[in-house]
Amino acid sequence: MCARYALFGPFPLGNLVPGFVEHVINPLAGFAQYNIAPSQVNPVVVAGQGGPGLESMRWGLLPHWARDPKIAYSTINARAETLVEKPAFRDAWRRGQRCLVPVTGWYEWVDLGGKRKQPYFLRAADGANPMMFAGLWSRWTDAEGRGVATYTVVTTEAMGEVRRVHDRQPQALPAEAWDTWLRAPVAEAVALLQPVVTALRIAPVGAAVGNPRNQGPGLVEPLEDAG
């Protein structure tokens, strides 16, 4: 499960597929959020006529038929194994409403027993920033007739070192798969949903990240380096 993540620069521009630097990475330059929580509005990459581009969307997918927006708290993640059938996600999947969620890293909590939990920050071992998570998006209309764009992060079974902190992981896509995820036919996109091992740096961080109101680079600082 991915219920909290961070996105902050600087964003290295190497090893990116053509078009993404101009249309996506450069506009992210001023964005810095160290504690992104469900229901917040964040940049998401969508396919556009002029190439991939950024759009602001609210985290927690609301299908067009949803009556209660509170269900968004249960749709921040979409399991790759069931998104084709699950009512909340299947329309977005069938319509090809796929997106990429740019992240610098994400948080997971490990139960230490009692009421104690230790947060960890996970980011690419090679310094890749941003990573791109597979996602789905949808547009929902509220009671006042206003359109709201929403998204979810696709997850798979945890692989490799991620298993130390959780049994699920966001599906991080390599740069060569970004355009395929955004634009390719469903048959090609579904092939990208197999669990993969991603080389990560996983480090314990302070408890302050538990409060979504807290922000700042100190939240991602490894405990052994703190102070």
d(CA 218, CA 16): 28
Half-sphere exposure of 136 (CA within 13 A, CB side): 29
∠ Cα 182 84 35 (to 5°): 60
Token code pair at residue 147: 């359109």
Q: Which residues pair with 148 in a beta bridge?
A: 140
Does residue 2 have an active-site annotation?
A: yes
Q: Is 108 a catalytic residue?
A: yes
Catalytic hit among 2, 55, 81, 161: 2
**Catalytic: which of 99, 108, 144, 188?**
108
Concatenate the DSSP letters of all residues of 127-174 into one string.
Answer: --SSEEEEEEEEEEE-TTS-EEEEEEEEEEE--GGGGGT-SEEE-EE-
- Host H or E run for residue 176: helix 175-183
Q: Which residues are catalytic?
A: 2, 108
